[in-house]
Structure 1
């Protein structure tokens, strides 16, 4: 009987898909690698740039502080020579230093104010300074830069002071220059130009982690020691790293320590600024690669087609050859450069020639039904007799096409023959290699199911019947069948008994409305 092989995925499609997948994966790998390399390069560039920038600003700050302290020393020298600093003189000196200080105060060694400028700063000559920073300036008796503190006026201030020493080296007090952190001051004037459109900015912290300069004035005076970069820079380190700030935002930060004041200067850029150039890079790579990609895809498809075409021809021919005998001279001569294809083609030729001889011999011996390709009545009788003689258990399924005369009358005998072949193919498809599908005569068929009980035989018949009812036949519509089943030895020990029982069950299926399977009753 015929053995049907389910068709799988064509080799041509598989190779083409493999080529396309390999090309796309290669392209994806290249783009991913390029993006990763450029991401690393951009990250390093921003880190190095911000570190260099922070170091430059630290150097500028150091020079600024030296200038500020030198200017205060000059005022201290004048104050040491004068018993009493003239208010107008101090105003003139302050005007020369307005770019550095928001106010200047001269105090004696008891922290009593001797002069101040400008005059409306919240303290007057004769007032005694009470801040801890003024006490430290007197105690240390040397140049001093304070931590930020709130003055009695409510201002957040940094005090830069130098001692006043007379000609005899006796300490007389100090000159203090104030920087108002929350107002326009020397730091904001120096650093305000260092803002960028990409979101980069600079900020300054003192040794305790408090902000003394920030582009957002609301942050001035707040402690940001939770920031890893701030902890490093106030400990005296300089460098760069990627960091999340106290708000959880991702930055590429460079930082530098300014030892004179113990301040830390940080220049940082939002990490996401590198996304835009990376997006442009991917777009350019795709645009440049597209023509080459299309060319490679076409070339890959052509090569795949050249490889597969002879195999496809051979497969189509082999499929057709399983349906009918093919004369040896009709076997195609497959031309190919590939050794495997040539060898396979030659093997198929030899196999088909041998199969043709075997099939011819088999048909002469077994008598295959020419219309359907199934075994005929003679083969059925011989196989049944052999199985009964050898006590091989089996079931007999007798099948009849419902209303087959109507098919011939409505569509003609040629279509009727196609319906018979259609049923034969489905019978062969659902049966196993040990079973025998046969044409009993006319529109009546049968299946001898080896080593089978009534339950399995009924399942097989129902599966065939259900498949026919949901599939279009050559008429354009589905057909139905009726079936009857008997089994050896439960329904008899002769072929005649078994056929009679199966025919009775088949007739019962017809009587009960057709399109059904009936199993012969035991003992009937």
Structure 2
């Protein structure tokens, strides 16, 4: 009779499982590192763009503040040309922020300029941005535009007014964009990377204001998702294709005061360049472990006994009730198989025993031995599914906190056990005695009417109040009684009604039973028979 060679089967399965595990681990490592590198680069670019956007915003605000301070001094100097010249020279030379500084009268005539080489003093300016600054009569940052000499610049202006509010003109400063001697260019810096990373700034009309390639400054950027997002005032990061169809990892942030946007981006290939080398190192390290393992498995497979397929298949389904019977029917015709069969049967018996004990422990309160809240919910669900009526007695030990305060928690635990024992003594085998938490208990009585449950509750109350507790005195209980489905159609509602009746008993003086929908039974002693 032909029998499958289990040694070869184990060997083939082990090799396949090992290779699949290796491939899965390798792929998972690759995907994890890939996502991590992408996420780190996106976040780094976002943070860098946000930093530069914030610095640019602060730079422009500081420049505006310089002009604002100068505007407070100039009304007294308007008729003093030499002092006007000194003031524009101070503004230009003090921080190096402005490439050019102008004081312009309301008729557009330039009263003073710095540097003098501009040759504009005494002339009437008619450029659009200069006239817009005159009309604005408020602090203003212009949109970028081409100056007289063709340089792209931005113009900041601050109105000059007398103390009585008479408008005299403005003081303004030009900042070159894209020039090596521009202060904003110095702030943003030069970013020339071998890996193709880029940093650029666009204005609200999508014109490039800063770029590592000066020839591109002034060009319009269209179809770039990062640019569109940052011009909507969004800060974030995303993976995108640039105008050259290069996959980029871009971070972006807006410049709040101007509506410009700063974008920092790096090619995905540059970010992932080291990933392949890293994965080769990981593969080499993994193979150093798996190759000896495969050799060991190949050798150990020779030592495995022959046909154990039935036992192996059955062992994978130990959770089924039929597993034990299936193992008994396995034909163990040799010593090793017989010993394994016996071991599996013994182990299965132990497992079932442990599972039974674990299940019992899972629904049992360790202090009192009563059913805990989990077991209570399980029983209620089963009774509800079976449409089995039941009564609920919710009870609570009166003044239990005083027991703990006066006698200690150990005696308090003994009182809980004392009450639990008395509850057991008045319950039937079909009843469920539960500890729902602390000094609160629940007695579930299947197939019991509301009236009968009330009698049980009153008998229990009288028994407890006449039985000496571990404190050396007597304790009392308050109880609430409800019925399902008599009191309500919903099981949670019935439990709530029993609790509410219990709290009514508490409020009305304790040591009494209150029935849902009825008056309280009272605190008179009940017969114990």
TM-score (norm 2): 0.54
User: How big is the shift at 1:113?
Assistant: 1.6
Equivalent in the alignment of 2:263: 266
Structure with greater Cα Rg: 1
Equivalent in the alignment of 2:156: 160
Match 1:28 to one of 7, 23, 30: 23
Equivalent in the alignment of 1:278: 275
User: How big is the shift at 1:32?
Assistant: 0.8
Please give the residue correspondences for 1:212-227 in structure 2 after superposition, counting only pairs within 5 Å. 212-227=209-224
Equivalent in the alignment of 1:301: 298
Contact 1:204 1:213 (8 Å CA) reproduced: yes
Q: Distance in 2 between matches of 1:114 and 1:158?
A: 20
Match 1:53 to one of 23, 48, 53: 48
Q: Distance in 2 between matches of 1:281 and 1:124?
A: 62
Q: Distance in 2 between matches of 1:164 and 1:140?
A: 12
Contact 1:182 1:220 (8 Å CA) reproduced: yes
Match 1:236 to one of 210, 233, 236: 233
Match 2:69 to one of 74, 81, 86: 74
Q: Distance in 2 between matches of 1:203 and 1:230?
A: 10
**Cα gap change, 1:178 to 1:161, in 2 (>3 Å):** same
**Cα gap change, 1:33 to 1:253, in 2 (>3 Å):** same
Root-mean-square deviation (CA, aligned residues, Å) is: 3.2
Q: Distance in 1 between matches of 2:56 and 2:178?
A: 18
Equivalent in the alignment of 2:317: none
Gaps of at least 5 residues in structure 1 are 1-8, 312-333, 340-524
Contact 1:210 1:225 (8 Å CA) reproduced: no
Gaps of at least 5 residues in structure 2 are 309-332, 339-529
User: How big is the shift at 1:18?
Assistant: 4.3
CA deviations 1:404-448 (Å, max 9, x no partner) are xxxxxxxxxxxxxxxxxxxxxxxxxxxxxxxxxxxxxxxxxxxxx
Q: What SS does the corresponding residue of 1:177 show, helix, strand or coil? A: strand
Match 2:204 to one of 207, 232, 252: 207
User: How big is the shift at 1:19?
Assistant: 3.2
Contact 1:200 1:270 (8 Å CA) reproduced: yes
Q: Distance in 2 between matches of 1:102 and 1:252?
A: 34
User: How big is the shift at 1:22?
Assistant: 2.6
Equivalent in the alignment of 1:408: none
Q: Does 1:110 align with 2:107?
A: yes
Please give the residue correspondences for 1:299-338 in structure 2 after superposition, counting only pairs within 5 Å. 299-306=296-303, 337=336
Q: Distance in 2 between matches of 1:158 and 1:259?
A: 16
**Cα gap change, 1:259 to 1:94, in 2 (>3 Å):** same
Match 1:292 to one of 278, 289, 314: 289
Q: How many residues align?
A: 313
CA deviations 1:269-307 (Å, max 9, x no partner) are 221233234224312312221221112210232244445
Q: Does 1:100 align with 2:94?
A: no
Match 2:251 to one of 250, 254, 257: 254
Match 1:171 to one of 167, 170, 175: 167
Contact 1:242 1:251 (8 Å CA) reproduced: yes
Equivalent in the alignment of 2:131: 135
Please give the residue correspondences for 1:334-349 in structure 2 after superposition, counting only pairs within 5 Å. 337=336
Q: What SS does the corresponding residue of 2:116 show, helix, strand or coil? A: coil
User: How big is the shift at 1:93?
Assistant: 1.1
User: How big is the shift at 1:14?
Assistant: 6.8
Q: Distance in 1 between matches of 2:24 and 2:258?
A: 51
Q: Distance in 2 between matches of 1:64 and 1:28?
A: 53
User: How big is the shift at 1:89?
Assistant: 0.7
User: How big is the shift at 1:68?
Assistant: 0.3
Q: What SS does the corresponding residue of 1:209 show, helix, strand or coil? A: coil
Contact 1:166 1:172 (8 Å CA) reproduced: yes
User: How big is the shift at 1:247?
Assistant: 2.0
